[in-house]
Amino acid sequence: MPADRNPRSLAALALLVAATSPDLAKEALTHAKTWLRTAVARDPIDAALTTVLVGAYLFYEAERGKNPKVNSYYDALVFVSTNLSVGYCDIFARTDAGKAIGTALMTFGPALATNIFDPPSNPTTRQEG
């Protein structure tokens, strides 16, 4: 990644823009929600699988070495898949990042898991109603 594209610098710039332009922040949030809804509707199984695998990786990286119950990627996988389905697990997050990941999984996971076997949407035949 080029030096002029530091992720922290970009995040700080995005926060500055959002703080000084509420309309732009609202538009960005609306765009992000629309993109996420479209991605999940396009293929619910892919969305759930991606959430499980990426969530487990992020949780493992956040908790590794700081949580005695997270000793492998598979421990993180159990945490994520359980939180996605029932909203709790016998593994508890200990880091701030792990708690944020767990919160997101427990908030959105059950709804994502509920729709996992819905057929993929086809934007050309989708009816609004």
Task: Give the H or E element holding residue 39.
Answer: helix 22-42
User: Do 81 and 104 share a domain, yes or no?
Assistant: yes
Q: Are residues 65 and 53 part of one domain? A: yes
Residue 105 CA: distances (Å) to CA of 11, 15, 70, 121, 127? 23, 24, 17, 23, 29
pTM for the whole structure: 0.70
Per residue in 68-114, pLDDT (tens digit) is 999 999 999 999 998 887 767 789 999 999 999 999 888 888 888 88
| Domain ranges, residue 11 | 7-42
User: Does 22 share its domain with 52?
Assistant: no
Q: What are 17-76's pLDDT values in tens digits?
A: 667 777 777 887 788 888 888 888 888 899 899 999 999 999 999 999 999 999 999 999
Do both 35 and 54 map to the same domain?
Answer: no
Same structural domain for residues 16 and 48? no
Judgement on whether residues 29 and 90 belong to the same structural domain of the protein: no
Q: Which residue has the tokens 């934007």?
A: 123
Q: Is residue 105 part of a domain?
A: yes
